Each structure stands twice: as C-alpha cells, then as structure tokens.
Structure 1
Amino acid sequence: MAHLTGSASLGSLRGPAKLKAVTKLVDGLAEDLESATLQPQERDAALDELKIYGRDPSYSDPIFTKEGIETLTRFAFDSPSETTSRNSLRVICNAMLLKPETRQIFVDLGYEPKVCSKLKTDSWDDEFLISRVVFLTTYGTSIDLPNLIEQHQLADSIIQNLSKHATRCSTPPAGKISRDPMEKMALDETLKLLFNVTRYASDHTTSFDPAIPHIVTILCNHDLPPSTTPLDPPFSLLINALMNLNLVSPSAQPSLYPSDNDNSVATRLLELLDLSMKAYTDTALEQNVTPLICVLSSVYENAPSSSDPESPVRTLIRSQLLPSETDRSLGLGKADTLPSRLLRNWTNALAPEFRKAISHLYFELSGKDAGQFIENVGYGYASGFLFQNKIAVPEGAMQQPQQQGRAGEGSGLGVGVGVGVGRRAVNPITGQFLSEERFEELPEMTMEEKEREAERLFVLFERLKQTGVVSVQNPVETAMQEGRFEELPDSDDEKK
C-alpha cells in the first residue's frame, strides 16, 4: 500500500505535492485495471485517499480527465467488490458535482445499461450513489433518458426503490430504533432523480404512474420535520415529484382518495401548508410553498365526485381555506388564520409565482365562477386576477349589500363564501361583514380638500372606465347631467 498511497497523513498535501500524489494514485489505479497489481485493501485505500483529494478540485486535475473518469467508472461498474465499487462511485459523484464537464465524459463511456442494472439494489448506499450519478447526468449532457426508460428499465428501478421506502414508512420497526442515515439520503436522491427524469422526459411520465401510491404512502406516514422547517426533505421532494406526475391516472386515484379515508392526502397537504405559512416568508415561500399550493389545487380539482357534485375532499379543503367568520369580522387578510395568511401574500412582490398559485387556487375553490370568486375573496383581491386573465366581472357582483352564500348554501355546488357564516351582508371590496366595519371619526374637510378629493375621484373613475374591466358611470358626470352640479366659490370667505 505504501508504494501507491501518500506517505503524509491522509489528504493533507497541498499544491504541487498534492498534484503529484493525485497523479500517482490515478496512474496506479489505471495500471491496476490492466495487471491487477494491488491487493483489495490497497485498491480501496487508494480510492479513499483519492476521494478526499477530489473534494477540492485544485491540484486534482488527473481525476477530472477522460482517463481519470474512465478508470473510476470501470472500478465502479466492473469490479466484483462492492466496497471498491462504492469507493469509486463516491469519487465520481464528487467529480461530477465539482466539474460539470465530467458528466458528459461519463455519458460518452456508454455505461447506461450497467448503471440502470446497478440501480436495482437493496443497498441504501448503492441507491444513493447511483441515483446521484444519473441525476447529475441530467444536467448539461446528451444522456438519452427515454432510452433508459424504454430499454433499460430506469422507471422500474426507481419505482422499486420507492416501494422499499414506502414499506418502511408504513410498517416502522417497533420502538425507537435508529435507522441508517443512508436510508433517508437514498430516498431524497431517488426523489430528486424522479423529478428530473419526469421533467426532462415528460413524454414518458406515464411510466412512473405506479410510483404515485408509494409517494403518497411516504407523504402520509413519514414523521413531520420540525415546525420551523416543515418542508425539509423528503416532504419538499415528495411534493415536487407529484407535480410532474399524472394525478388522474387509474393508479393515482385510489391512493390520492382512498376509500377508507378520502381526506388523508388532503389533510396532510393542509397540515403542511398551515405550518409552512407560519414558518416561511417571501423568497422561501416562492421556492418551497408554491409547489405545495399547485399540488393541493390539483388534488382539489381532480377529486372524484361520482353522482354527488361534491366530495369530502373538496368540502374539507374549502372549509380550511375559504374565509371564515373570524376572517370577515376583521376584514380579509387581517386575521391570524390560514386563509388570511394566504390572502396577505396575494400581492407579495417577492413571491410572484406563489401569489399567482394562490389566486388560481382560490378561483378553483370558487368553482371558476367570477361572481363567487369575488364573494369569496372580495373585489379588492379578485379584481387583479380577473383583469389579468380577461375574465369579465358579472353584473351585480358589486351591488351592496352583498349577501353571502349566493351560490353556496343549499346548492349543489356548495362553494359559498365561508363556513357557517350565514347570509350576513358583506362589503364587496374588502370582504368584511358590513356590521363589523368601523370608521375613524375624521375632522370635517375644508372646501379645498373636498375639491381636491372630487378631482382625484373624477380622474380615477375615468381611468377605471378606460380599462373596460367594469362598466361605471362617473358620479361627477352623472351630477352634471342631472343638473345637480354647482360651481363652488373660490374660497370659503367668498361664500360667506
């Protein structure tokens, strides 16, 4: 072993001395492939030392060459020793992460059949390492993912690995037994691989339909992370994976809406959403919670209704997300509730995709009915969405007093404004109960202030007419037509 590995403490060399040691290791391993000059312990020690040196690409150039990657790949996929294979795979993973050009070098070697074959494994270590290798090759290479799915059973291997994790989640060992940390790392890497494959080979997503029940099982049975980071992996990865899959497929429906508990998936998604809205803000909402909103919207939209136009899933989601009495007593977006926290982000400039997902979700909750949408969230929130999507505001939607439950209570649709709030009059702009509105007593306006306010309102009404969103009559114009317009004196003194 001494003639190949460095004499200094493992991985401690720097600069030219490190380059010399790395060159010696790579050359020695290449020679071993042809003449088998190393003992198994020597070979594994050399790979282990190479892994440590390869964590820093400076003065490690021989690792990242075509010859270096080929040497490592042959040890990874041709060696009968599992230890040698894993040690080599770790070096390859580091190399592909640090030097993107090595990914194409790996793909050009043509080891796809062996890679996919090795992914069929009972080892958490192998699942993690092989999944990471394939995952990294999905970026910036010519890898043929459809070919891996059609000819080398890549989808079957991923589904098989997810099945193992689902079984472990649904039948945990008795007591508090510490699991191998590689198990969680393997699950995370498999989910990341699934997301990328279904993203870049979108025409083959149906091949992954059997993965949906396993994803759902893990989602509903896995212990929740701390409330400060509710979407830590694997939950963020599980939700991302569901985004790309066909949730209306025959294999998806029974798992998303199980006959023994229709609401299990929706309940878990709502639980994660509630925790997330308390834990994340702004850009974190954009990155972490947007996919959750999209999946929840899809679960709502695709919920089976059979002969009844309503379903327990839709009823549950509306009951949790539509404004309640508490929300409408304070004004929409002002209470400390899940609906209010969502509405407060409706105009979040730092989370554009998140706010778009929220508005689309609430439009879906409103049965895609513009009038009901305005009742549910108030015209103040609804107007921007309707204008951007070129949806006309129904006649009478802005009439006051507006009564709740226009299309909801007692109807087949059941998409009323709130939950158990009766038919109390609501301000159509703010969504607040008219009986709960409070106005500050302001000092009497001077005549100049009244004139300025009248001019400002005149301009606003003219601009609103030009948008074509709603048909309005300028009140100043109406007053003039009816002969109620009076020219005021220039000052209060003149009037006196």
Structure 2
Amino acid sequence: MMLGSGLQGKASVDLEKLKEVARLVELLENDFSAKKLSSAEQVQTLLTLRQHGTDPTNADPIYSDKGINLLARYGLDGETVDIRRAALRCIANALLLNPNMRQVFVNTGYAGRVAEKLKTDSSDDEMIMSRILFLTTYGTDIEFSTLITKHSLADNVCYQVTRHAKQFPKGGQKDLPQMDELALTDTLKLVFNVAKLYPSLADSFAPLIPHIFKIISRIDIPAKPLDGLIGYLVNALSTLDLEEKPGKFESSPLFPKFNQNCNVDKLINILDAAVRVYTPDELEPRVVPLLHLLITIHEFAPEGPRKYMKWLLLPEDNDRSAPIGRSDTLSSKLLNLSTSPSVHLKTTISELMFALSDKDPENLTKNIGFGFAAGFLASRGIEIPQDSQEAFATNTEAGINPITGQRFDAEPQDLGPPMSQEEKEREAEKLFVLFERARANGFITAENPVAQAVREGRFEELPDDADSDLD
C-alpha cells in the first residue's frame, strides 16, 4: 500500500505540473490581447514556464504548435525587451530539448524576423537569436538563402563579428567578457553550420574573414587552446573560401602588409600549444580543422609566408640529431601523431607535410624521411618516381639517413663486440629482403645494395668450413 501510495503521489505531482503548464500557456494566450498582466507579470510567467520546460516531461503545452507559436509572438512582438528575451529563451530551450520543435518553429514563419533582430548591440540578444537559428540548421526545411537575401542574415552576422572584433584593440584586452564570448560562439557555430551544410551560401560570409583573423591575432591562447572561442573561430574559417580574388578584400586579411606572417605565426603557435596538452583522441575533433586551415593558407600564401611555414613545421637540422620524430619540436610531435590510430588526424598531418613539400613525393621523403613518407604515399596511391633514388642519394650525400632522417654522425655507435660473420650474413639477408619488398611496392627503384655488392665482388661467400666467429 505504501509503494502504491508513493506511485500515486508521483503521478499526482506530474499531473499537477501538466495542469500548471497548461494554465500558464492559457494565461499568456488570453493576455496577448486582453493586456491585463503587467510587463513584470508577463516576464515572471514566461520565466516560470521556461523553468517547467527544462524537463519536457509533462510540459506538453509548451512542446506543441500552439505553445511554440505563442512564444514566438511574445518573442518577436512582446512590449519590452525583457518579455521578448524571456520568450525567446523558452523557444531556444524547447528547440534544444526536443528536436521536433525545430520544424515547428520554422513553420511559424518567424525565423526571418529572428535573423533581422540579430542586428543588435546586446550580446544577450545576439546569443538567443544565433542559438535559435543554429538549432534550425538541423532537421528542418528552413531556407537560409531566403534569410540571407531577404532578411539580412549574413550582414547581421558580420555586424556581430565586427562588433566583437572591436573589443580587441591593438595592445588592449586579450579576451572577452563571458556573455560576449558566449554570444560570439553561438554566432560562429551558426556560420559554420550554414556554410558547411549549404556551401553555395558560404561566400555570403566572406566579409567575416578579416575580422576573424583580427580576433585570432590578438586573443590570448588559453590553457586548452581549442576548447573555447579560438576553436570556433578556426572552425568558421575552415568553411570559408580564403582565396584572395580581385576585389574580394580591400587588403589581404591572410597576409597583411604590416606583417605577412602574423596570422600564420599565431595559428602555428595555437597548433603547437594544442599538440602539447591534448591526447591524440582529444586532438582529432579539435585540431583537424586547424590543420586543414593551414593547408589552405599554404596553398594561397606568397613565397615569404610559405617559407616561414616550412621553417616552422618541417624538421630542422636540429631535429636530425636523433631519428625524426624523437625531439620535442612541433614537427617531431606532428610526425609522431601521423602514426597514431586516429585516422583523420594522421591523414591530415600527412597531407600538411605533403603540401609543405610542394606535393612532391621526393621532397616529402627528403623532408620527413622515408619511414614517415612511405605509408602516406602508399595510402594515396602515389608511386615514388623512377628517379626517386636521387632523393636517397641527396640525403645520403648530405650525411642524412634517408630512412630515419637522422644525421649519420649523430647515430649511436655500436660499442658492443663485433658481429660474427654469421650475424653479418643474417643482417645482410634481412636488408636484401626488405629492400626487395620496397622495390616491389614501387617505393624505390635503385639497385639493391646487397646485390650490387655481390655483383661488384665486394660480398664474398665463405666456404662451408669457415669459422663463423671470424670477422
């Protein structure tokens, strides 16, 4: 009986919530024309309704055509800012918690007015408007092209990004107040989704590019570099066309005249910070857009920034004091990550190294060593050219091990007892087999050095009774 009473009590409480939500919706419905509630009472009613809506269970009157339509009317036509804001927060909450309500909201026809009201100097309102529009990018038939051409969506998004960029004066603050950051984050998420889902509309957001780079160049890099605003700025850029076509920009936003390398430098500093704090699994969803962005920038970069990127991202002479990938430099960390199980991460890192090598297999092999280059080239179906031995010869003549990328003079010396002749023969046989496999796969075309030694009489077969312990 006690258990039954408890269940009956719970059902009664749920029924009470349902009745209360229905009462509040009815009260707001009647008052929209009767105007009996004061502004403060309307706000309080909407806030109470929103609180009930944080759990959709037994809040059906909110999660309905009637409920969403009513909230949209208050959100766009309410008499005060507080009324409109409270109603729109109810809508944003409903769209987040019940995906079915997104199409219901689109059906109200109010999305265009939300896009128009995105032109505001209030970050509170920017955040709500951007969040509602962002949520409608999922599972609806909303026409973003109409929002852009008839309701100034792209212009108003640009207004917001420009407004926030002005909050980063040269030599001034290096971050945003929390509400401004939340608002800009939602706006950037909206840009990313629209440009990603509707590539034909991405050009509408091109005016954002200089302002996004301005923010990136001046913002501080946080402890978790890509978890906050920087990550959303990079994501938004990764969906936009960065090519500087004639008349597109007044001056180059990617490579400004006052310092062509400033944006490249900041993005690589962000990358360097990221690879030092995230695990490979954490890196994949965060850093791949940044890597793609660097690949794109390198593609459009003039000679100076290209050389600068190669200097910062490819192994230097100092890296070659050990096999490439063993030092603490950014290039070594990237190459190590290129062998991780994270498919998108390792592929994108290899693509970056290939781009930095001017998409030349021989340059790639020379820059990062055959060990790192071979897998990427094989996965892309790229054969080493017939004259690939030149890359090996060039590295070897320069005193660099073509497989590991390490300088020969820095390789550890074997201080142990000398190998027996039998051990030498076994090692030579291993090398012969490995070399022949590489030749069969098309990675190299040079003659097998073991076969060459035999042909030239530099490899002597011992008689069967030779002492295997002799050198």
Residue 117 of structure 2 aligns to a residue in which SS?
helix
Report Cα offsets for 1:28-87 as digits up to 9, x if no partner: 222222433322221111111111121122222221111111111111112121111100
Question: How far apart, in 2, do the equivalents of 1:140 and 1:252 lie?
Answer: 38
- Could you tell me which residue of structure 2 aligns to residue 420 of structure 1? none
What is the deviation of 1:282?
0.8
1:235 matched to which residue of 2? 230
User: Residue by residue, what CA displacement relative to the aligned partner does 1:258-307 show, whole Å, maximum 9, x if unpaired?
Assistant: 11111111111111111111111212111111111111222222113xxx
Q: Which amino acid aligns with 1:366?
A: S
State the Cα deviation string for residues 202-229 of structure 1 (Å, max 9, x = none): 112221111111111111122332xx30
Provide the C-alpha distance between the structure 1 equivalents of 2:56 and 2:170, rounded to a whole number of angstroms: 43
Aligned residue pairs, count: 454
- Taking the aligned partners of 2:225 and 2:210, their CA distance within structure 1 comes to 22
Task: Tell me, in whole angstroms, the C-alpha distance in 2 between the residues paired with 1:369 and 1:172.
Answer: 41
- Residue 19 of structure 1 aligns to which amino acid in structure 2? L
Q: Would you tell me which structure has more helix in proportion to its own residues? A: 2
Distance 1:143 1:339, change over 3 A: same
Structure 2 match to 1:328: 320
Contact 1:32 1:38 in 2 (8 A): yes
Gaps of 5+ in 2: 1-11
The answer to whether the 8 Å contact 2:366/2:392 transfers is no
- 2:220 is aligned to 223
Aligned counterparts of 2:316 and 2:414: Cα–Cα separation in 1: 25
- Report the 3-state secondary structure (helix = DSSP H, G, I; strand = E; otherwise coil) of the residue aligned with 2:325: coil
Q: Which residue of 2 aligns with 1:317?
A: 309
- 2-structure distance, mates of 1:268, 1:126: 31
How do residues 269-348 of structure 1 correspond to structure 2 at under 5 angstroms? 269-304=267-302, 310-311=303-304, 313-348=305-340
Change (3 A) 1:278 1:251: same
1:455: Cα distance to partner?
6.2
Q: CA deviation at 1:113?
A: 2.4
Compared with structure 1, are the counterparts of its residues 139 and 457 closer, same or farther at alpha carbon in structure 2 (3 Å cutoff)? same
Structure 1 runs of 4+ aligned residues shifted over 3 Å read 394-404, 439-466, 472-493
Deviation at 1:27, TM superposition (A): 2.0
Equivalent residue in structure 2 for 1:264, among 255, 262, 265:
262
Q: Which amino acid aligns with 1:67?
A: K
State the Cα distance separating 1:460 from its structure 2 match: 4.0
- What code does the residue aligned with 2:233 have? L
Distance 2:421 2:160 in 1: 77
Question: For residues 218 and 133 of structure 1, what CA distance do their matches in structure 2 show?
Answer: 24
Q: Determine the structure 2 residue equivalent to 1:246.
A: 241
Partner of 1:428: 402
Which of residues 186, 192, 200 in structure 1 aligns to 2:189? Answer: 192
Tell me if the contact between 1:447 and 1:491 (Cα under 8 Å) persists in the aligned partners.
no
Answering whether residue 111 of structure 2 is matched by residue 112 of structure 1, we say yes
AA partner of residue 188 (structure 1)? T
Offset, 1:24: 1.6
What does 1:69-468 align with in structure 2 at a 5 Å threshold? 69-170=68-169, 180-225=177-222, 228-249=223-244, 250-251=248-249, 254-304=252-302, 310-311=303-304, 313-349=305-341, 351-395=342-386, 397-398=388-389, 402-403=393-394, 424-441=398-415, 460-468=434-442
Q: Given residue 263 of structure 1, which amino acid in structure 2 is its aligned partner? A: N
Percent identity of the aligned residues? 40
Q: Could you tell me whether the CA contact under 8 Å between 1:135 and 1:196 is conserved in 2? A: yes
TM-superposed deviation, 1:352:
1.7
Aligned residue in 2 for 1:4: none
Deviation at 1:253, TM superposition (A): 5.8
Report the Cα distance in structure 1 between the residues aligned to 2:373 and 2:250, rounded to whole angstroms: 33
C-alpha separation between the residues in 2 aligned to 1:292 and 1:150? 30
CA-to-aligned-CA distance 1:109-154 (integer Å, 9 cap, x gap): 1113211111111111111000000000001111111121122211
1:396-427 deviation digits (Å, cap 9, x = unpaired): 544697446x9xxxxxxxxxxxxxxxx84111
How far apart are the structure 1 equivalents of 2:183 and 2:290? Answer: 22
Q: What is the deviation of 1:461?
A: 4.5
Which whole-Å CA distance do the structure 1 matches of 2:214 and 2:16 have between them? 52
TM-score under structure 2 normalisation? Answer: 0.87
- Look up the equivalent residue of 1:425 and give its one-letter code: G
Aligned-partner SS, 1:62: coil
Instruction: Give, in whole Å, the separation in 1 of the partners of 2:449 and 2:398.
Output: 28
Contact 2:111 2:133 in 1 (8 A): no
Query: CA distance change for structure 1 residues 262 and 476 in 2, over 3 Å: closer, same or farther?
Result: closer
Deviating more after overlay: 477-486 vs 279-288: 477-486
Q: 1:43 — aligned with what?
A: 42
User: How much does 1:22 deviate?
Assistant: 1.6
Please give the alpha-carbon distance, in whole angstroms, between the structure 2 residues aligned to 1:396 and 1:333. Answer: 26
Question: How much has 1:14 moved relative to structure 2?
Answer: 5.4
**RMSD of the alignment, in Å?**
3.0
Q: Give the Cα separation in 1 of the matches to 2:391 and 2:181.
A: 56
Q: Measured at CA, do residues 397 and 14 of structure 1 come closer, stay the same or move farther in structure 2, by a change above 3 Å?
A: farther
Q: Separation in 2 of the partners of 1:490 and 1:60?
A: 94
Whole-Å Cα distance in 2 between the matches of residues 459 and 433 of structure 1? Answer: 25
- Cα separation, 2, equivalents of 1:396 and 1:442: 38
